[in-house]
Chains A and B, each alone.
Chain A
Amino acid sequence: MTDFPHTPPRQSWTFSNDVNAEIRRAAATGIYDIRGGGSKRRLPHFDDLLFLGASISRYPLEGYREKCATDVWLGTRHARTPIHLDIPVTIAGMSFGALSGPAKEALGRGATEAGTSTTTGDGGMTEEERGHSRTLVYQYLPSRYGMNPDDLRRADAIEIVVGQGAKPGGGGMLLGQKISDRVAAMRNLPKGIDQRSACRHPDWTGPDDLEIKILELREITDWDKPIYVKIGGARPYYDTALAVKAGADVVVLDGMQGGTAATQDVFIENVGMPILACIPQAVKALQDLGMHREVQLIVSGGIRSGADVAKALALGADAVAIGTAALIALGDNDPALEAEYNKLGTTAGAYDDWHEGRDPAGITTQDPALYGRFDPVLGGRRLKNYLKVMTLEAQTIARACGKSHLHNLEPEDLCALTLEAAAMAGVPLAGTNWIPGRNGF
């Protein structure tokens, strides 16, 4: 018998081990995979952009000596009381229900100490977040859980949520295991049942209706509060233009890396666009309407560092929002809890079953035994530190580009490492003057 060389085992790219595991899981359970967080796939992102820095043609600013301002105004178009934040990094909307009360308190503490805003979520406004947030944005969602005029008036801004990056065009579902007595009471539903959040608002459809809805909210609040409109990264040029037409003071644009408390994995990974591709489209819409900087743009979805902040602002955003990164700063997915993550069949860094309410970090849970572990004061301090670091990082880059304000960063400060990033961001491929898609090329 001749010993011929055997063909080595070869795994399929199409039917990878991960894909096969999901097929087996679906076959065994008969239900799609639901998880929290945003897209986990490799996407063109801010990592694919670089700053050029100063040179002979650009004059840098001295670090630690020459001023690089970081403040931002939001809602200057129509509101009597626009918002003024010390830093352009805000905390994105996350619901009480999805998050524990102490986690919401920590977000408020950290944001306030860092000089920025927090945002409510689907489920209404809690005393924890109102009491600990100097500046609180109140989300107006299709479900209208907990919606009432008193909270509208004690908010600092109102954010009409049309969509979010993790699931543009989708609603939500808070599973029964997270519906405690308190969550149920706030949402006016029985305890322990799944709570659906509709994908469309119940009393308006389309941009013309939205204009009237905004009018109503302005009238209820006597034109005092800035009104944001939040959109998922789907058709950012047109959605931004329509939001502006409808009267928005601020457009919040969330790319597909943006997290969610619970959505189908197939939705998270296959619907929407990465934030890098969305920002230039939204900025162009604002510029075409002559509203860039008059209507402010907040972008979110995968913002992790001061470099990401600086790149988003250089592309034309006025501010960013963070969600997942803020939770990590609080202690989510901390390797110190590895043994407990292992018991849940996962590992630190990969834990995303936030909807199950068994978070060992006490952040995405309504179990008193679990959220009792979480210290909101310590969590707030960690978030403040993180926000400060992001701001310092962004300032470091801006000074190197010769900018005395983060808002002075511009696309000309950037180049791209990949063709995809160059085309999406509208900046030249590194070492060339080539912007794919421009000038016929």
Chain B
Amino acid sequence: MQVFDLEAQGLRALNATLHGLSGQTNETAWEIVNPRGSHAIAVGVDAPVDITVRGSTGYYCAGMNKQATIRVKGSAGPGVAENMMSGTVIIDGDASQYAGATGRGGLLVIKGNASSRCGISMKGIDIVVHGNIGHMSAFMAQSGSLVVLGNAGEALGDSLYEARLFVRGSVKSLGADCIEKEMRPEHLLLLADLLKRGEADHLAKPGEFRRYGSARKLYTFNIDNAAAY
């Protein structure tokens, strides 16, 4: 286990060190101590390593992650795992706004609640939230899956494209062009896999969820839909 004291060694040194790692390293386990809410912790990592952050983080922790498994033993500030490409990011606490924004791959697990705009513009990432999510989540979400064991706030899935949304609790309101859809067997299988990988299969069963997706009525601009925008 490599231990990096962020307070003592600084952010630039941390990220430069992590960027120096490749698939051919034996330094595969890292622990970052004293994060103290710093921004941009472990951003742009591109190696199959395990990184544990001992404490809460500021903005954009694990941004653009590739390959790495990053676990935050605390809560995460805005934009955690934004534009993630692959790998896994696990937040033991809560996540602030824009969690997983524009993510293109990989898995983001939030064991607490996520604030507004969770999964905004997601492009292939899978997100599993054990708690609730805030308003405008999955806004303009393009692809990937968002699983919420708790409740969803207002305007879920507004202007949604092809992302799949699964919510176990209540949905305060659906956004423009987002509708409830039939849960078919393939969705139950997908959900079971996501719950397992999201460390939530002991907390919920696939059959307890409802599925939401795009009505695809806003895919091509039509003046008669102007009131929906």
In the complex, A4→B219 CA distance in Å? Answer: 61
In the complex, A204→B98 CA distance in Å? Answer: 8
Q: Is A56 an interface residue (CB 8 A)?
A: no
In the complex, A213→B102 CA distance in Å? Answer: 14
Q: How far is the CB of B30 from chain A (nearest CB, A)?
A: 16
Q: Is B91 an interface residue (CB 8 A)?
A: no
Q: How far is the CB of B64 from chain A (nearest CB, A)?
A: 4
Interface contact A147-B15, CB-CB below 8 Å: no
A220 in contact with B44 given A194-B221, A203-B82 (CB within 8 Å): yes
Interface contact A216-B39, CB-CB below 8 Å: yes
Identify the stretch in B106-114, B117-125, B193-201 within 8 Å (CB) of chain A at 4 or more residues: B117-125
Interface contact A188-B124, CB-CB below 8 Å: yes
A212 in contact with B46 given A143-B121, A188-B104, A219-B12 (CB within 8 Å): no
| Across-interface contacts of B143 in A (CB, < 8 A) | 188
Interface contact A193-B219, CB-CB below 8 Å: yes
Q: Report the tally of A-B residue pairs with Cβ distances under 8 A.
A: 107
Interface contact A203-B46, CB-CB below 8 Å: no
Interface contact A203-B78, CB-CB below 8 Å: yes
Interface contact A202-B102, CB-CB below 8 Å: yes
Closest to A188 in B: B123
Q: Is B212 an interface residue (CB 8 A)?
A: no
Interface contact B142-A189, CB-CB below 8 Å: yes
Contacting residue for B120 out of A147, A173, A203, CB 8 A:
A203
Contact bitstring A416-441, B, C-beta under 8 A = 1, else 0: 00000000000000000000000000
Interface contact B161-A219, CB-CB below 8 Å: no
| Across-interface contacts of A190 in B (CB, < 8 A) | 161-162, 219
Q: Is B19 an interface residue (CB 8 A)?
A: yes
Q: Is A209 an interface residue (CB 8 A)?
A: yes
Contacting residue for B63 out of A30, A176, A198, A220, CB 8 A:
A220
Most buried by B among A143, A204, A219: A219
Interface contact B43-A216, CB-CB below 8 Å: yes
| Across-interface contacts of B97 in A (CB, < 8 A) | 203
Contact bitstring B122-141, A, C-beta under 8 A = 1, else 0: 01100000000000000110
Q: Is B2 an interface residue (CB 8 A)?
A: no
Contacting residue for B102 out of A147, A193, A221, CB 8 A:
A147
| Across-interface contacts of A147 in B (CB, < 8 A) | 83, 102, 104
In the complex, A221→B12 CA distance in Å? Answer: 10
Interface size band for A: 20 to 34
| Across-interface contacts of A267 in B (CB, < 8 A) | none
Q: How far is the CB of A199 from chain B (nearest CB, A)?
A: 11
Interface contact B85-A149, CB-CB below 8 Å: yes
Q: Is B53 an interface residue (CB 8 A)?
A: no
Chain B, interface SS category: loop
Interface contact A204-B83, CB-CB below 8 Å: no
Closest to B41 in A: A219
Q: How far is the CB of B97 from chain A (nearest CB, A)?
A: 8
Q: Is A148 an interface residue (CB 8 A)?
A: yes
| Across-interface contacts of B12 in A (CB, < 8 A) | 219, 222-223
Interface contact A216-B220, CB-CB below 8 Å: no
Most buried by A among B40, B46, B66, B223: B40
Interface contact B219-A144, CB-CB below 8 Å: no
Interface contact B63-A189, CB-CB below 8 Å: no
Q: Is B213 an interface residue (CB 8 A)?
A: no
Contacting residue for B161 out of A189, A215, A222, CB 8 A:
A189
In the complex, A223→B159 CA distance in Å? Answer: 36
Q: How far is the CB of A242 from chain B (nearest CB, A)?
A: 18
| Across-interface contacts of B63 in A (CB, < 8 A) | 216, 220
In the complex, A176→B219 CA distance in Å? Answer: 9
Interface contact A219-B221, CB-CB below 8 Å: no
Closest to B85 in A: A148
Closest to A148 in B: B85
Interface residues, chain A, CB within 8 Å of chain B? Answer: 29-31, 143-144, 147-149, 152, 173, 175-176, 188-190, 193-194, 196, 198, 202-204, 209, 212-213, 215-216, 219-223
Task: Jot down 7 A-B pairs with beta carbons below 8 A, ordered by A.
Answer: A144-B123, A152-B44, A189-B162, A196-B140, A213-B60, A216-B43, A220-B15
Interface residues, chain B, CB within 8 Å of chain A? Answer: 11-12, 15-16, 19, 39-40, 43-44, 46, 58-60, 63-64, 66, 78-79, 82-83, 85, 97-98, 101-102, 104, 117, 120-121, 123-124, 139-140, 142-143, 159, 161-162, 219-221, 223-224
With A30-B223, A147-B104 given, can you name 20 additional A-B contacts, CB distance below 8 Å? A29-B223, A31-B221, A31-B223, A144-B123, A148-B64, A149-B46, A149-B83, A149-B85, A152-B64, A188-B123, A189-B162, A193-B161, A202-B121, A203-B60, A204-B79, A212-B40, A216-B59, A219-B15, A219-B44, A221-B44
